Structure 1
Amino acid sequence: MTDTNANVKNLLNAGTRESVVADLTALVEKTIENQSGLTGMTIKAAIGTAKKADADAVSKAINMGMPQIVDELQPFWDGYQGVDTDNVAAPNTFGGYLSSREDDVVNALLDAGDKAVNQAPGAIQKMYSTMRGKAGKIVGPVLPELGEIVEKYAR
């Protein structure tokens, strides 16, 4: 069932954006905390450095990148809205839809990051450039949760 009022651009609304940023920040911080090995150590050190400079660095970076994130997710949302819900194989959540298109979604989100990173604090820029090549392996597994957040606020 398609909700004609549902739109990813709703995430940018003044009454919604702050909550979206808070939820996305929590997802990013949980994802970082769950990283292990050399990648985990590197990203945790970079985020720790960024937070020493500005405790809200992650949420500020997400907030600055919201327009790019929304622009990159909109085509996927449009595709999800057009899915035949009577088709048993069709994903029944936006997170499932994103996961079923993981490579394309990760590339789109990296494009959003590339566009937004120049506005971010210096420590975030440095961390992003260091971690960009590994981002797909970090972002891919959390697409279901990202989709849940987007769907929650898009409706």
Structure 2
Amino acid sequence: MSTAVSDALLEPSRRPVAVATLTDVIDAEVADKSGFGGAAVKTGYAAAKRLGGGFVQNATDRLLPQFASALDPFWATKGEQPFGSHLAAQPDAVADALLAVTDAKAAKTTHTSAAKVYGSLRGKAKEHVVAALPRLGAAVERLVR
């Protein structure tokens, strides 16, 4: 049995690298967006980054335990295939599991600006998460191995 995603990513010496790597994945996914919908994502993301204090990286760090736990069952069933391919083969289940994490956090946040940005982007969030699954899976696989 391979190491669980949560065990690997939350290990104290690996966690900072995991947070930086996953923040890079988010940055790259946002940069790749185009068209009207892409402009909305880029505007929302820029607003989140303007919240200051390394908001995106800090949010990634705070949510990492829940995201890693959400990915654990998918990692456990990936077999020999690349993790990005495995995630992309079941997009609805993976996206729903990851969005459940952010939805729960958004529902409890007292940071009204962050909640407003999240709310403005939530309608199209699933399609953006699905599009990111191959890149996310590849990054997680590099971090776990």
Normalising to structure 2: TM-score of the pair?
0.87
Matches within 5 A, 1:35-74: 35-54=33-52, 56-74=54-72
* Partner amino acid, structure 2, of 1:129: G
Deviation at 1:21, TM superposition (A): 0.9
Q: In 2 relative to 1, CA 32–105 (structure 1 residues): closer, same or farther, beyond 3 Å?
A: same
**Superposition pairs for residues 119-134 of structure 1, below 5 Å?**
119=109, 121-134=111-124
Count of matched residue pairs: 143
**Residues 1:68 and 1:110: Cα distance change in structure 2 (over 3 Å):** same
| C-alpha RMSD of matched pairs (Å) | 1.8
Counterpart in 1 of 2:4?
7
The CA deviation string for residues 96-146 of structure 1, in whole angstroms up to 9 with x for no partner, is 110111111011111111123345854332222211121121111221111
Is 38-47 or 132-141 further displaced after alignment? 38-47
Say if 1:25 and 1:62, in contact at 8 Å, map to a contact too.
yes
Q: Distance in 2 between matches of 1:142 and 1:58?
A: 16
Unaligned runs of 5+ in 1: 86-91
Q: Which among 105, 108, 124 is matched to residue 97 of structure 2? A: 108
Q: 3-state DSSP class of the match of 1:14? A: coil
Residue segments in structure 2 that go unaligned for 5+ positions in a row: none
Percent sequence identity is: 31
Q: Deviations for 1:58-116, whole angstroms, at most 9, x for unmatched residues?
A: 11111111111011111111111xx3x4xxxxxx2111110111111011111111123
Counterpart amino acid of 1:145? R
- Higher alpha-carbon deviation: 92-101 or 130-139: 130-139
For 2:50 and 2:132, how far apart are their aligned partners in 1? 26
